[in-house]
Chain A
Amino acid sequence: MNILIVDDQQFVREAIKADLIESTFEHDFQTFEAEDANQGIEAIVAIEGNIDLLILDLKMDHCDGMEVINFLSEHASYVDIPLAVISSSDKRTLELVGSIARSLKLNLVGVFEKPINMDFILAETGRLQSQDDHKMVVKSPESISDYDINQLLADEQVLLCFQPQVDMKNKNIIGFEVLARMYDENGYIYPDTFLPLIDKAGLNVDFTKVIVAKAFRFWANEKTLASYTLSINVTAEDLSSDNLVDYIIRHKQAHADIKLILELTESQEIINQASALNSIARLIINGIGISLDDFGKSYSTYERLDTIPFNEIKIDRSFVCDIDTNEQHHLIVESTIALAKKMSVSVVAEGIETESVLNILAELGCDIAQGYVYSPPIEGRYLIAWVNRYVHKDIAANVH
């Protein structure tokens, strides 16, 4: 995989190269470097556009990254080069550059704030390429066998990412939802691919155990995170396993300071079975919060609210993402929030991607926000830096 790094700071180029080497992707990377836009353009021409990823800094001495962007757009043979724009500039500038690159029909992987998450960029690049029927990096369901899934799980080839949940009133971070990725030598395998295979192989409980163990280990090692909730997804089927419920309770007892919430998703309608209800009662007694995930969709209905003392409900993203344009969804979300208020249950809205949706949810009285508007899922090793940056910016915003 040929990667061209255009950045005027040698330290940043070295850090990117080190991240590539440490990456979970085991590609044979060949890196090329340029320290300004002119050198970058010369490098693109010299290697005849044979570049699998162009990492481009925006603001550089002499001439800036826009020069390279314009050059790519003016040359049809280079317009398909996957482009990741990186910068320490403010978010609005990054959004503007992203819009320009898209309008120029460039093959934009994304626009990323420094420090960049190399694994995420590589995964996005792979996803982009697979969409174009090019080389596959993110695996399709057909390319993974039951044996692969068994082996990957046995090897704990699971990477945890964390998506922040933010208090809508004071903008403080409330906690994080754990989102898992599996990976092999070719790259990330996303949940829509591996979850059905895990389900088919009957490995749901083993998978949840790996997530619980890894998440607790991570939270326990990072004292900064102690004040935030840790939300982990479980299925109703998981709760039918006494073994798993014991396992979760043991972890909670060993780390009483970790504010664990289990987000209950349902793959089968078994929640009303006595064993599942019994498990939920045991979890609650042991100080574990229960959140009703994907509310309004499939089995997460009002009946559940009546049966189980949930701490919070999460409105399904399909209702949230377009409430600024879809009147029906607006009504559904509005009534769900009103109901939750009357039941003294917190409401989390997930899948928020725009300020417009965020503002409407605030007006409706939603308690907690989650979505790309704050951050995509963050790989564990970058989480503390993200928290510090967020907290710092918030303090700055309040000062002003």
Chain B
Amino acid sequence: MFIDISENLRHFFCHYSEERRLPLYQALVGELVNIRSKIKLVEDNDQLNALKHQLKGVCRYLSLEFDVQIDAITRLQQLYRLVDHIHGQVVAIADEL
């Protein structure tokens, strides 16, 4: 079960001035969409691990404590669900920026 991360997202964006928030937001959405689309193309474990590493980098910037959760992922579907969850919550706060 995934947790609500909207507060972490707000906390992250409020550190930046208003003019920086939009480019950051767009880059974040783009990054998540990119990872999500790459999941469909994964053919081996190395590729899966590379995507997990990318997601970990994003999560750390957002102060999301997902390292353990990401390390434990073994199936593409698990990774897809987690990325999709984060993406959904990022999109949900778009109006607040």
A11's partner among B53, B56, B61, B65 (CB-CB below 8 A) is B61
Q: Does B68 contact A (CB under 8 A)?
A: yes
Q: Which residues in B have their C-beta under 8 angstroms from that of A384?
A: 11, 63
Q: Which residues in A have their C-beta under 8 angstroms from that of B67?
A: 389, 392-393, 396
Q: Tell whether, in the assembled complex, residue A14 and residue B27 are in contact, meaning their CB atoms are under 8 Å apart.
A: yes
Q: Does B24 contact A (CB under 8 A)?
A: yes
Q: Does A388 contact B (CB under 8 A)?
A: yes
Rounded to whole Å, the gap between the CB of B39 and the closest CB of chain A is: 14
Q: Tell whether, in the assembled complex, residue B24 and residue A15 are in contact, meaning their CB atoms are under 8 Å apart.
A: yes
Q: Please list the residues of chain A having a beta carbon within 8 angstroms of any beta carbon in chain B.
A: 8-15, 18, 21-22, 59, 61, 88-89, 113-115, 381, 384-385, 388-389, 392-393, 395-396
Q: Which residues in A have their C-beta under 8 angstroms from that of B31?
A: 9-11
Q: Does B88 contact A (CB under 8 A)?
A: no
Q: Identify 7 residue pairs between A and B in the complex whose beta-carbon atoms are under 8 Å apart, listed by A's number.
A: A10-B27, A14-B24, A18-B23, A18-B24, A385-B60, A389-B65, A392-B65
Q: Tell whether, in the assembled complex, residue A88 and residue B15 are in contact, meaning their CB atoms are under 8 Å apart.
A: no
Q: Does B91 contact A (CB under 8 A)?
A: no
Q: Does B58 contact A (CB under 8 A)?
A: yes
Rounded to whole Å, the gap between the CB of A231 and the closest CB of chain B is: 24
A88's partner among B17, B27, B56, B63 (CB-CB below 8 A) is B56
| In the complex, residue of chain A having the shortest beta-carbon distance to the beta carbon of B67 | A392
Task: Scan B37-61; emit 1 where CB is below 8 A from any A CB, else 0.
Answer: 0000000000000100110111011
Q: Which residues in B have their C-beta under 8 angstroms from that of A393?
A: 67
Chain A interface, >50% SS class: helix
Rounded to whole Å, the gap between the CB of B9 and the closest CB of chain A is: 13
| In the complex, residue of chain B having the shortest beta-carbon distance to the beta carbon of A396 | B68
Q: How far is A127 from B30 in the complex, measured between Cα atoms in Å?
A: 36
Q: Which residues in A have their C-beta under 8 angstroms from that of B58?
A: 9, 11-12
Given contacts A9-B31, A11-B27, A11-B30, contact A18 B16 (CB under 8 A): yes
A59's partner among B11, B23, B27, B53 (CB-CB below 8 A) is B53
Q: Tell whether, in the assembled complex, residue A12 and residue B61 are in contact, meaning their CB atoms are under 8 Å apart.
A: yes
How many residues from B make CB contacts under 8 Å with A? 23
| In the complex, residue of chain B having the shortest beta-carbon distance to the beta carbon of A384 | B63
| In the complex, residue of chain B having the shortest beta-carbon distance to the beta carbon of A10 | B27
Rounded to whole Å, the gap between the CB of A344 and the closest CB of chain B is: 37
Q: Which residues in A have their C-beta under 8 angstroms from that of B23?
A: 14, 18
Q: Does B75 contact A (CB under 8 A)?
A: no
Q: A9-B54, A9-B57, A392-B67 are in contact. List 18 more A-B contacts (CB 8 A).
A: A8-B54, A10-B31, A11-B28, A12-B57, A14-B24, A14-B28, A15-B27, A18-B23, A22-B15, A59-B53, A61-B50, A89-B53, A115-B60, A115-B61, A115-B63, A389-B67, A392-B65, A395-B68
Given contacts A14-B27, A18-B20, contact A388 B57 (CB under 8 A): no
Q: Which residues in B have their C-beta under 8 angstroms from that of A15?
A: 24, 27, 61
Q: How far is A393 from B68 in the complex, measured between Cα atoms in Å?
A: 8
Q: How far is A8 from B56 in the complex, measured between Cα atoms in Å?
A: 13
Rounded to whole Å, the gap between the CB of A193 and the closest CB of chain B is: 28
Q: Counting chain A CB atoms within 10 Å of each CB, which of B15, B23, B61, B67 scores highest?
A: B61
Q: Tell whether, in the assembled complex, residue A392 and residue B30 are in contact, meaning their CB atoms are under 8 Å apart.
A: no
Q: Tell whether, in the assembled complex, residue A388 and residue B65 are in contact, meaning their CB atoms are under 8 Å apart.
A: yes
Given contacts A9-B54, A10-B30, contact A388 B17 (CB under 8 A): no
Q: How far is A171 from B54 in the complex, measured between Cα atoms in Å?
A: 29
Q: Which residues in B have their C-beta under 8 angstroms from that of A395?
A: 68
Q: How far is A32 from B95 in the complex, measured between Cα atoms in Å?
A: 31
In the A-B complex, the 8 residue pairs with the smallest Cβ-Cβ separation, listed nearest first, are: A11-B31, A14-B27, A385-B63, A11-B27, A392-B65, A18-B20, A88-B57, A115-B61
Task: Scan B6-41; emit 1 where CB is below 8 A from any A CB, else 0.
Answer: 000001000111001001100110110000000000
